[in-house]
Amino acid sequence: MSYVLQTEGLTKTYKKTKVVDQVSLTVRSGDIYGFVGKNGAGKTTFIRTVLGLTRPSGGTYRFFDGMALNDARRKVGSLIEGPALYRNMTARENIELYATMLQVDKGRSLMLLQTVGLADTGKKRVGDFSLGMKQRLGIAMALVGDPDLLILDEPINGLDPKGIVEIRELLLTLHQQGKTIFLSSHLLGELEKVATRYGIIANGHMVEEITAEELQRVCVARTVIKTNDPLKAAVVASRFLQTGEVTVEGDRLLIAGTLDNIGALTNALFAENIVVSGISSDDNRAEEYFIRKMEEG
């Protein structure tokens, strides 16, 4: 299969404003596709459009190498902006009711609850669930039809750190089980830990599509050294490390990559009477990269 979802020039206009503007993207089988953009960038509108909840104003979208849309929709599970759940029912009752509505097998409900870590919630009513539990139940609901593609709109929005970790682990489990996942987020750091490919959207425009490997290549980690004399330190460090990849930014020395001989380097700096007041590794560069791209867009 060459693609799971492909859009070409997809556009959605509300009152003459192009909320989604000529978005072309490709989700391939096995991707965890991170759709990144600030609030208001057009992520939800894009998702609602490909799910058929609203009509595109222009452009096209296709699933699974152009499979007939009615068949394709049965192989897509989704969760948009918080799940529609019955508060007075248990997790299992919610799933079974939804399975009945979709006319699919109800027998998978326990297995689905196990997958999302809710198997032990028994008689507890969904109204008493935490936000994280509701979100995981929402993902279980999206899985009811045993879809090949899961589309999740901001699945970690509003969750506490523990809830975020749980969703992240769940996504990785589902990915291992062979699901292709498309998820949107404005929380870059969290996407970075799971995505295999990214699409960056700003003001309705696709700014860039980039694979996780490409992102790693452009965002290699840096070692940051704070000193009292950064210019002299740069000269000493370049000579010591035999690399030209040393730059100065304020009172900081930035060296590409993480160093395994950091002790020897600080000794060399001390020997030249340079005072080192701090050393850290700067591995947050992907986030900077996304922010820059979104600003450019």
Which of Mg ion, ligand ADP, none lies near 197, with the C-beta cut-off 5 to 8 A by kind?
Answer: none
Which of ligand ADP, Mg ion, none lies near 42, with the C-beta cut-off 5 to 8 A by kind?
Answer: ligand ADP
Measured at the CA of 131, the angle between CA 126 and CA 135, to 5 degrees, comes to 80
Residue 175 near residue 32 (C-beta atoms within 8 A):
yes
For Mg ion, the binding residues in 235-294 under the rule CB under 5 A are: none
Contact status: 45 vs ligand ADP (CB under 6 A): yes
Contact status: 42 vs ligand ADP (CB under 6 A): yes
Q: Which residues are bridge partners to 199 per DSSP? A: 35, 209
CB of 53 to ligand ADP, least distance (A): 10
CB of 40 to ligand ADP, least distance (A): 4
Sign of CA pseudo-dihedral 249, 252, 253, 255: negative
Contact status: 44 vs ligand ADP (CB under 6 A): yes
Name the segment binding ligand ADP (CB under 6 A); options: 24-32, 37-45, 56-64, 225-233: 37-45
For Mg ion, the binding residues in 213-242 under the rule CB under 5 A are: none
Contact status: 45 vs Mg ion (CB under 5 A): no
CB atoms closer than 10 angstroms to residue 151: 23
Selected from 44, 109, 115, 185, the binder of Mg ion by CB under 5 A is 44
CB of 39 to ligand ADP, least distance (A): 4
* DSSP alpha helix (H) spans, the chain: 43-50, 69-73, 91-102, 109-115, 131-142, 161-176, 188-192, 212-218, 230-241, 262-271, 285-296
Name the segment binding ligand ADP (CB under 6 A); options: 36-44, 144-152, 169-177, 239-247: 36-44
Tell me, what DSSP letter sits at residue 275? P
Sign of CA pseudo-dihedral 202, 207, 211, 215: negative
Residue 178 zone, left/alpha/beta (φ > 0; ψ -120 to 50; rest): left
Look at residue 50 and give its three-state secondary structure.
helix
For ligand ADP, the binding residues in 81-120 under the rule CB under 6 A are: none
Residue 150 near residue 179 (C-beta atoms within 8 A):
yes
CB of 287 to ligand ADP, least distance (A): 18
Nearer to ligand ADP, 40 or 66 (CB): 40
Contact status: 41 vs ligand ADP (CB under 6 A): yes
Contact status: 164 vs ligand ADP (CB under 6 A): no
Q: Interface residues with ligand ADP (CB under 6 A)?
A: 14, 19, 37, 39-45
Q: Interface residues with Mg ion (CB under 5 A)?
A: 43-44
